[in-house]
């Protein structure tokens, strides 16, 4: 997707660009005659499928199983959304569908399809808003903000991240608060607003320190202490504090642990970059070797970007057996 085609939202116009959600959609659809009946079982099925597909994608990357998620959405879930249900079940169904749609958007982005990802995140936002689910709506906005940062649309990212964080203030879930505030901090840091980024980092840390270690049921409730440490580390790196950045990345890997291969590989790639910037070349090469081992078989644009970044830096690194070995491993991976 061309960067110029990315959703051009602003603080005042951003949510209007997403279109106002239809707050009466669930009520209007409820109890319609002649449609397939939907109950708690169908809602539970959507949530179970989202969890199962999400676990696979977290381990192996968004390039795996997105077609399965899309098929399930279009064949089964859409039929249920167009079905007959009570208002209570309808709101739960819309919320469950919003999470599935958000997952598909994440998968599309992770395999490099930015335009498709954006469309799914916008659709997830609308479903969540119609269901009256602030956390899911904030999570969808957070996904759009994070994507805008990666694509270089920093003013848009700041405004979307701020909108996400503002919705998140209404929640009592500390993991959700940390999730949205870290994203807002990342956008502020990318925008050169160190004061705002530092304030939000402190607030996000306070929230995650008060959060239970076990994952919850929602997308934001799966935001782990390890993911917080990784994101905080990279925000510090953006602001030039490389020592604190490296400390946080080690915290993510060694103390909080990251049990998903995709996630662990991404952190290792980032850690190597920080170590290289600090002049610790031997450590960076060793870290990148660990990255290659961990990333084997993972289909993710984040992994591809990591490989590209490493390959671009290797020619400037002094010749050594470790550097030659890493170059050979990357070349072999590219060939296969």
The pLDDT score that the predictor gives to residue 334 is: 65
DSSP character string of 150-184: HHT-HHHHHHHHHHHHHHHTT---HHHHHHHHHHH
Average pLDDT over residues 177-203: 97
Q: Is 24 helix (H, G, I), strand (E, B) or coil?
A: coil
Integer Cα distance of 266 and 69 in angstroms: 24
CB 110 within 8 A of CB 143: no
CB 249 within 8 A of CB 271: yes
The pLDDT score that the predictor gives to residue 30 is: 52
Residue 142 pLDDT exceeds 50: yes
Res. 32 pLDDT band, cuts 50 70 90: low
The pLDDT score that the predictor gives to residue 28 is: 46
Res. 303 pLDDT band, cuts 50 70 90: very high
CB 160 within 8 A of CB 121: no
Res. 153 pLDDT band, cuts 50 70 90: very high
CB 38 within 8 A of CB 150: no
CB 64 within 8 A of CB 57: yes
Of residues 264, 261, 262, 176, the one with CA closest to residue 216:
176
How much is the CA Rg of the chain, to the nearest whole Å?
21
Q: Which of 6-20, 168-182, 206-220, 319-333 has the lowest mean pLDDT?
A: 6-20
Integer Cα distance of 164 and 291 in angstroms: 32
Residue 235 pLDDT exceeds 80: yes
Q: Is 318 helix (H, G, I), strand (E, B) or coil?
A: coil
Place of tokens 């940062």: 149
Residue 321 pLDDT exceeds 80: yes
Residue 77 pLDDT exceeds 80: yes
Per-residue pLDDT tens for 272-297? 999 999 999 999 999 999 999 999 98
The pLDDT score that the predictor gives to residue 24 is: 47
Give the pair of three-digit tokens for residue 248.
């946080």
């Amino acid at each position: 997707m061309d960067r110029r085609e990315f959703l051009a939202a602003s603080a005042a116009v951003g949510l209007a660009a997403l279109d106002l959600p239809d707050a009466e959609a669930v009520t209007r659809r409820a109890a319609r005659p002649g449609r397939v009946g939907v109950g708690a079982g169908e809602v539970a099925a959507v949530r179970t499928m989202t969890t199962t597909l999400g676990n696979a994608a977290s381990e192996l990357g968004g390039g795996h199983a997105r077609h399965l998620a899309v098929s399930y959405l279009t064949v089964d879930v859409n039929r249920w959304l167009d079905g007959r249900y009570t208002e209570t079940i309808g709101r739960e169904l819309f919320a469950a569908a919003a999470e599935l749609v958000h997952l598909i958007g994440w998968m599309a982005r992770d395999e490099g399809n930015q335009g498709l990802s954006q469309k799914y995140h916008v659709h997830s936002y609308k479903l969540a808003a119609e269901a009256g689910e602030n956390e899911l709506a904030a999570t969808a906005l957070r996904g759009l903000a994070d994507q805008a940062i990666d694509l270089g649309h920093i003013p848009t990212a700041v405004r979307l991240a701020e909108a996400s964080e503002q919705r998140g203030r209404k929640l009592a879930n500390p993991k959700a608060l940390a999730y949205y505030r870290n994203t807002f901090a990342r956008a502020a840091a990318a925008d050169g607003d160190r004061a705002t980024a530092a304030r939000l980092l402190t607030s996000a840390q306070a929230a995650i320190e008060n959060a239970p270690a076990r994952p919850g049921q929602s997308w934001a409730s799966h935001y782990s202490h390890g993911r917080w440490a990784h994101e905080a580390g990279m925000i510090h790196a953006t602001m030039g504090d490389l020592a604190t950045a490296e400390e946080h990345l080690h915290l993510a890997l060694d103390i909080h642990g990251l049990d998903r291969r995709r996630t662990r590989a991404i952190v290792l790639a980032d850690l190597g970059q920080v170590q290289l910037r600090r002049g610790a070349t031997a450590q960076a090469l060793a870290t990148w070797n660990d990255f290659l081992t961990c990333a084997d078989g993972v289909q993710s644009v984040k992994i591809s970007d990591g490989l590209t970044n490493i390959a671009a830096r290797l020619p400037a690194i002094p010749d050594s057996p470790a550097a030659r070995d890493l170059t050979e491993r990357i070349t072999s991976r590219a060939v296969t």
